[in-house]
Structure 1
Amino acid sequence: MSRTTGVEMTLRTWFRMLGITVLTFSLPEVALAASSLDKVKQSGVVKVCLAQQQPDNYKDPRSGQWTGVMVDLLNELSKWMKVKTDIAEVGWDVAVLSLKQGTCDLFASSIVYTAPRAMEIAFVTPFGAKGDNIVIDKKNPKNIKVHADLNNPNITIIAELGTREHDNAQRFFPKARILAVKVPSTVQVIDWVKRGDADAAVLPTITARWWLNVPENAAWAAMGFPGNDFGNAPNGWAVRQGDPDWLDFLNSFSGWVTANGMAKQLYDEYLERTNPFTKKD
């Protein structure tokens, strides 16, 4: 074998090895997505993202601790798995991005299905379904009575940026003036209605009911369409796409929750509890 041939073979071997190395380093996202369940088992920690929305998941103003329906379900899961949770608070406007970038292994707030979201992330089997409604001034100066009354250029609607409510407001009421704001807590969008800067605040119906359970809130505000929600959709958790083992595991947990009626029971309990945002004398 000539020296030239030997050099050529050495170079070919080197390039093949380089190709394998490049391939290996080009797959971290796939490997990350495929190993979430194994990673949780090995580390004993599940990285969770939460965005505030009452009564699903919120920080108690007195203790600063996360609480709510979804938090209780998360605690049940982590206790059963014998793992710890590492919680990162994110805004609804980056809920999808937080999963795609690997900030968390699980988005455990009550994230509601929308087609754009489903194109980017994988939804866990839902715990139930949620509809939207509006909170308006009890005096109802714009005489809002039916859904169609909102689809009017003279109506200003407020919603939290990046939420399903923001998406629904745009889809169902395209003629209205839509304000989308970033707030620490979903119920804070109602402040725009109280100040007269918006005619209606779009919220999950369960959140509106929970907020209106506070007497001082019900003194000036009301549900716009009692018993007549819009935009009903499944709600639950979500994970990155391409993570079948982790998704299957969480789907099984969701099935167990549903079989035992836990989600509905928790929602009923939270609606009956004293609201921690109630002003004290």
Structure 2
Amino acid sequence: MKQLGKLLQVMLLSVWAVLAGTGTGSADTLADIKSRGTLRVGMADSTPSQSKDPNSNEWEGFNVDMAKNLAEQLGVKLEIVDASWSTLIPGLLAGQYDIAMCDMFATPKRAQTVAFTTPYMNLGFSWVVRADFPGEDAAALDDPAIRIANLSGSAMGDIIRKLAPRAQVKDVASDNVFSPHLEVASGRADATLSDHYNNTQFLKRNPSVKARILGGDKQFQQTPMAYAVRPDDQPFLNMLNSWIIYNQTTGFSEELRHKWYGF
């Protein structure tokens, strides 16, 4: 009995050590960043929020400037870690970077896996359809004959399946956020869903494509965009929320929005 008691005690101590070190406590990412002297930021390509300049191969965009400002506020160097939309959250949870800074929609489904900061911006959605698509109502998309392209790993998939449950969803694995749009432009898909800004930018840059926004300039479901950290990162999350609110009240975020988004 004594040996059994000792064994149970050792087992309980082992479990406690694991929980204290990895799961139930609060991570000290902020202290790790300070000690390391580097802020590691995960990014996935999405112009103009964050993308690589093809000439310099350097990251640029709204969230790149925000990341530079965050590193400056922390007094450390900035290191941007390349990711894709499908690997962005897994990479964060695996500790490959301290924070994911992208134009990521803070959805309830994602919030079950990561912790989101307070929103830094809100954007609405719209549909891009073939130029000859019959109708101006999204209800026409809910048809088994309709093919809707979706970027794998994005939040659009769940929304598409909710709004058009009978349609065929064609998931596209790519680092190019406009890959689903190209599926529509080439006739391989009938429609795609994205934030309204991306849709207008795609059509503006490709005026000859045979595609259009459904319902003209109509957008719906304003959704918050936020940065993501690991779910046990409360001290880091508190600091980030204060930083975002500070940049909003000082006008820094608005200045960057005008610079990169034009509104």
Using the TM superposition, give the Cα deviation of residue 144 of structure 1 relative to its aligned residue in structure 2, in angstroms.
3.7
**CA separation in 2, counterparts of 1:208 and 1:41?**
39
Within 5 Å, give how 1:20-31 maps onto structure 2: 20=13, 23-30=16-23
**CA separation in 2, counterparts of 1:271 and 1:254?**
18
Within 5 Å, give how 1:44-63 maps onto structure 2: 44-63=37-56
Please report the TM-score for the alignment, with normalisation by the length of structure 1: 0.83
**CA separation in 2, counterparts of 1:257 and 1:104?**
23
Question: For this pair of structures, how many residues does the alignment match?
Answer: 261
SS at match of 2:102: strand
Aligned-residue Cα RMSD (Å) equals 2.6
Within 5 Å, give how 1:125-274 maps onto structure 2: 125-137=118-130, 140-214=131-205, 217-220=206-209, 221-272=211-262
Distance 1:261 1:228, change over 3 A: farther
Q: Which of 82-91 and 105-114 deviates more?
A: 82-91
Q: 2:106 aligns with which of 94, 113, 129?
A: 113
Give a deviation string over 1:2-60, Cα, whole Å, max 9, x none: xxxxxx79x98898678646633454323895110111111111221111112111112
SS at match of 2:104: strand
Give a deviation string over 1:52-96, Cα, whole Å, max 9, x none: 112111112222111111111111111222211222222222332
Gapped regions of structure 1 (runs ≥ 5): 1-7, 273-281
SS at match of 2:70: helix
Give a deviation string over 1:138-194, Cα, whole Å, max 9, x none: xx2222412212222222111101111222111211111111111111012222112
Give a deviation string over 1:82-123, Cα, whole Å, max 9, x none: 211222222222332222222221011121111110111110
**CA separation in 1, counterparts of 2:145 and 2:227?**
36
Identity within the alignment, %: 25
C-alpha contact 1:192 1:198 (8 A) present in aligned 2: yes
Distance 1:218 1:266, change over 3 A: farther
Gapped regions of structure 2 (runs ≥ 5): none
SS at match of 1:133: strand
Distance 1:262 1:227, change over 3 A: farther
C-alpha contact 2:146 2:190 (8 A) present in aligned 1: yes
Within 5 Å, give how 1:37-116 maps onto structure 2: 37-116=30-109
C-alpha contact 2:125 2:220 (8 A) present in aligned 1: yes
C-alpha contact 1:190 1:201 (8 A) present in aligned 2: yes
Using the TM superposition, give the Cα deviation of residue 195 of structure 1 relative to its aligned residue in structure 2, in angstroms.
1.6
The AA in structure 2 aligned to 1:102 is: G
**CA separation in 2, counterparts of 1:266 and 1:209?**
19
